[in-house]
């Protein structure tokens, strides 16, 4: 599909493209939602009809061009329609993280000057009602699920059903309103404002135009061959540019089907039922999948376990050789089909990944072991490098040119350059129109036409981009040894027992690590050994658990031995944290990136203790519950020295 031509031919906004899809293939399924135990399907003509009704409803409440609509909730067809409906009227949708606490919501809703909010359910309505006073621009709250809201009498609360009725009435008096407003849209209108969670400071709203997203989607289709018969699962937060790009922009441009799971807790079974052909997941999801697989293998009977382990090792060895451009031994190649029959095929089927043609990991660097594991099963996982500011995509692994340690080559239309300081710079048709109401931040990022990514990296001989770490995180130990914290943390996180890790060492004599255990995996491990525990904190401080984690640290150190540059940065001491790092406590972002600065400050006492001679350190920490209340947790944490 020639997307440039499309934009020239006047199909230059998403509402126009939705209308086009409804003409091209009216009966093809556009979006599904599992509700009441059944996958309910909506075709492209349903999609258009729903967008039209919601848009007219919003128009009847007075949504004018340039107005913002906050969109908050799990991935629901109705919310994607609300995005398109807002765009159809020349408004700007602003998706927000559904698990954001009131303070975060208030900041963004107020900063974006949202006049409307379309939300999923009572939970979100309650949050908005609490913060409405702080958001003077917010006039109407529209909710999809009326449950529990019957007794609410606020006049500005409107059910989606009621909104659509209002739209129908409005349409009788203004029969051509929707079409007229859609026709007024242009390619350079702002299509969406995505607030980036940001590992530092307050969120910034990146403005992306229809042209940005349509051209980027078109380039991705050209490079990756997305077809209209793809099935994708929409399960990542709508506020994340990755979901907006794949489940909305790409789906509308290519015409493929998006599937919304029943609830956050049913994503894995729903994944299996849908059997997507494309799958997009941040490293965290791949890690979780791997952990689940590992736990189940350990629980299996001895002969099964040995068989599975043998074939998994075989496949991983072969895959590692293939990625390293080395020959694979004949006996391995001969045994692989048997492994596919006995292990890889059933496992893929079990994961719901039998039909996957293309899978991506993005958002953060993935542990090489995790990457190899999934590829070795025959799942075409590829790395992708992108940012909100680039309409999600910058570089991607081409099929047949996948490397372990790179994030691929630039997407068509994207130019990449490395600055003197080693920072990755890029420019592309997807480059955003700046941060909403924050020209200072915009100027910091766009300089002389290039976007400064903030990532340290380089282009290798074959034009592949390699990302080392966040530019500001790569640092040196006191003796000058190079130390890349994320690299170590990813290695630690390959262990199913380690959920999160934070390594410190800048200007210190050695590297130390704060480690979060994975409650499911370590809990299961402890149960099988008859180790009793009462809580996460209790489990984390068991000497046996320290021994377990110690082994993992030793494994990481051993693998560093092979690396000439990073050999000096082995982990000397570690402790296991008494609580999980949590976005509600601002320790990690909603996309689960570690906020180093904040952690260094909050856990300064722990970090100092890691560089002292103490064997343990007492801690008292504030925790924020899901409803925003706070409490304190007390514990005495052990410090363990790693064997060398």
Partner 1 sequence: MSATDGTGPLLEVEGVSVRFGALLALSRVSLAVGHGEILAIIGPNGAGKTTLLNVISGFYHPYEGRIRFAGRDRTHLKPYDVAGLGIARTFQNVALFKGMTVLDNIMTGRIIKARGNLLLEALYWGPAMSQELRHRAFVERIIDFLEIEAIRKTPAGRLPYGLQKRVELGRALAAEPELLLLDEPMAGMNVEEKEDMCRFILDVNDEFDTTIVLVEHDMSVVMDISDRVVVLDYGRKITEGPPSEVRTDQTVIDAYLGVPHAS
Angstrom distances, CA of residue 76 to CA of 69, 83, 236, 241: 16, 11, 11, 16
Determine which residue in the list 27, 147, 461, 529 makes contact with partner 1, applying CB under 8 A.
147
In the complex with partner 1, the residue whose CB is nearer, 259 or 361, is 259
* DSSP track, 194-210: EEE--SSSS-EEEEEEH
Number of residues counted as binding partner 1 (CB under 8 A): 13
Is there binding between residue 509 and partner 1 (CB under 8 A)? no
The H or E element spanning position 74 is none
In angstroms, the CA 476 to CA 513 distance is 15
In the complex with partner 1, the residue whose CB is nearer, 270 or 585, is 270
User: DSSP secondary-structure letter at 565?
Assistant: T
Is there binding between residue 262 and partner 1 (CB under 8 A)? yes
In the complex with partner 1, the residue whose CB is nearer, 36 or 302, is 36
Considering the complex, what minimum distance in angstroms separates the CB of residue 126 from partner 1?
11
Determine which residue in the list 27, 133, 136, 151 makes contact with partner 1, applying CB under 8 A.
151
Considering the complex, what minimum distance in angstroms separates the CB of residue 540 from partner 1?
21
Considering the complex, what minimum distance in angstroms separates the CB of residue 276 from partner 1?
19
Determine which residue in the list 133, 265, 331, 449 makes contact with partner 1, applying CB under 8 A.
265
Classify strands 616-624 and 630-638 as parallel, antiparallel or unpaired: antiparallel
Is there binding between residue 266 and partner 1 (CB under 8 A)? yes
Is there binding between residue 629 and partner 1 (CB under 8 A)? no
Is there binding between residue 150 and partner 1 (CB under 8 A)? yes
Considering the complex, what minimum distance in angstroms separates the CB of residue 38 from partner 1?
7
Classify strands 450-459 and 446-447 as parallel, antiparallel or unpaired: antiparallel
Considering the complex, what minimum distance in angstroms separates the CB of residue 265 from partner 1?
4
Determine which residue in the list 27, 36, 303, 461 makes contact with partner 1, applying CB under 8 A.
36
Is there binding between residue 631 and partner 1 (CB under 8 A)? no
Q: Can you name the residues that pair with 381 across neighbouring β-strands?
A: 359
In the structure encoding, which two tokens stand for residue 439, read together? 């020209």
Is there binding between residue 183 and partner 1 (CB under 8 A)? no
Considering the complex, what minimum distance in angstroms separates the CB of residue 121 from partner 1?
10
Q: Can you name the residues that pair with 48 across neighbouring β-strands?
A: none
Q: Which long-range contacts (CB under 8 A, 24 or more apart) does 618-623 make?
A: 619/578, 621/578, 621/579, 622/585, 623/579, 623/582, 623/585
* DSSP track, 252-282: HHHT-EEEE-S-GGGHHHHHHHH--SEEEE-
In the complex with partner 1, the residue whose CB is nearer, 154 or 313, is 154
Is there binding between residue 35 and partner 1 (CB under 8 A)? yes
Considering the complex, what minimum distance in angstroms separates the CB of residue 555 from partner 1?
34
Is there binding between residue 628 and partner 1 (CB under 8 A)? no
User: DSSP secondary-structure letter at 626?
Assistant: T
Is there binding between residue 630 and partner 1 (CB under 8 A)? no
In angstroms, the CA 162 to CA 326 distance is 63
In angstroms, the CA 566 to CA 390 distance is 31
Binding segment for partner 1 (CB under 8 A), chosen from 263-271, 368-376, 574-582, 596-604, is: 263-271
Is there binding between residue 444 and partner 1 (CB under 8 A)? no
- H and E: helices and strands count for the chain: 24, 29
Considering the complex, what minimum distance in angstroms separates the CB of residue 572 from partner 1?
40
In the complex with partner 1, the residue whose CB is nearer, 49 or 267, is 267
Is there binding between residue 263 and partner 1 (CB under 8 A)? yes
For 251, the 3-state DSSP assignment is: helix
Show the beta-strand stretches assigned E in 265-408.
278-281, 358-361, 381-385, 395-396
Q: Report the interface residues with partner 1, using CB under 8 A.
A: 35-38, 147-148, 150-151, 262-263, 265-266, 269
């Amino acid at each position: 599909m020639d997307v440039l031509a499309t934009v020239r031919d006047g199909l230059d906004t998403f509402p126009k493209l939705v209308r086009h899809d409804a003409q091209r293939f009216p009966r093809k399924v556009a979006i599904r939602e599992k509700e009441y135990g059944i996958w309910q399907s909506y075709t492209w003509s349903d999609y258009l009809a729903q967008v039209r009704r919601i848009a007219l409803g919003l128009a009847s409440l007075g949504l004018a061009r340039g107005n913002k609509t906050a969109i908050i909730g799990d991935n629901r067809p109705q919310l994607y329609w609300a995005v398109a409906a807002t765009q159809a009227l020349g408004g700007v949708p602003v998706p927000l993280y559904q698990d954001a606490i009131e303070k975060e919501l208030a900041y963004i809703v107020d900063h974006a000057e949202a006049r409307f909010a379309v939300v999923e359910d009572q939970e979100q309505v309650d949050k908005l009602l609490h913060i409405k006073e702080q958001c003077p621009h917010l006039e109407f709250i529209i909710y999809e699920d009326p449950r529990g809201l019957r007794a609410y009498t606020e006049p500005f609360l409107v059910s989606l059903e009621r909104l659509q009725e209002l739209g129908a009435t409005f349409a009788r008096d203004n029969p051509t309103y929707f079409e007229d407003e859609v026709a007024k849209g242009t390619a350079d209108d702002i299509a969406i404002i995505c607030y980036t969670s940001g590992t530092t400071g307050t969120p910034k709203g990146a403005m992306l135009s229809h042209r940005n997203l349509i051209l980027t989607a078109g380039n991705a289709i050209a490079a990756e061959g997305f077809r209209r018969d793809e099935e994708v699962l929409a399960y990542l937060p709508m506020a994340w540019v990755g979901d907006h790009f794949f489940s909305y922009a790409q789906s509308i441009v290519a015409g493929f089907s998006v599937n919304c799971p029943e609830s956050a807790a049913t994503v894995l079974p729903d994944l299996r039922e849908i059997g997507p052909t494309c799958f997009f997941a941040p490293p965290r999801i791949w890690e979780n999948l791997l952990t689940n697989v590992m736990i189940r293998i350990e629980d299996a009977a001895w002969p099964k376990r040995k068989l599975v382990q043998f074939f998994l090792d075989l496949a991983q060895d072969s895959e590692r050789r293939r990625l390293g451009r080395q020959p694979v031994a004949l006996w391995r190649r001969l045994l692989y089909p048997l492994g596919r029959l006995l292990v890889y095929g059933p496992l893929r089927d079990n994961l719901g990944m039998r039909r996957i043609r293309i899978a991506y990991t993005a958002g953060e660097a993935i542990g090489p072991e995790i990457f190899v594991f999934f590829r070795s099963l025959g799942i075409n996982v590829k790395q992708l490098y992108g940012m909100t500011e680039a309409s999600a995509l910058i570089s991607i692994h081409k099929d047949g040119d996948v490397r372990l340690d790179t994030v691929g080559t630039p997407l068509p239309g994207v130019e990449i350059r490395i600055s003197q300081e080693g920072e990755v710079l890029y420019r592309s048709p997807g480059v955003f129109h700046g941060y909403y109401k924050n020209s200072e931040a915009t100027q910091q990022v766009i300089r002389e036409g290039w976007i400064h990514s903030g990532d340290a990296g380089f282009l290798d001989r074959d034009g592949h981009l390699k990302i080392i770490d966040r530019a500001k995180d790569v640092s040196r130990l006191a003796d000058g040894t190079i130390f890349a914290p994320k690299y170590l943390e990813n290695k630690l996180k390959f262990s199913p027992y380690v959920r999160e890790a934070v390594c410190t060492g800048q200007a210190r004599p050695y590297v130390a690590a704060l480690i979060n255990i994975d409650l499911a995996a370590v809990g299961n491990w402890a149960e099988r050994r008859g180790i009793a525990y009462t809580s996460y904190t209790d489990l984390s401080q068991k000497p046996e658990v320290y021994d377990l984690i110690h082994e993992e640290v030793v494994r990481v150190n051993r693998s560093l031995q092979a690396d000439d540059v990073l050999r000096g940065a082995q982990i000397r001491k570690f402790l296991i944290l008494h609580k999980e790092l949590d976005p509600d406590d601002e320790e990690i972002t909603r996309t689960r990136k570690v906020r180093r600065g904040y952690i260094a400050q909050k856990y300064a006492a722990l970090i100092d203790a890691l560089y002292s001679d103490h064997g343990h350190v007492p801690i008292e920490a504030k925790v924020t519950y899901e409803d925003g209340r706070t409490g304190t947790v007390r514990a005495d944490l052990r410090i363990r020295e790693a064997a060398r």
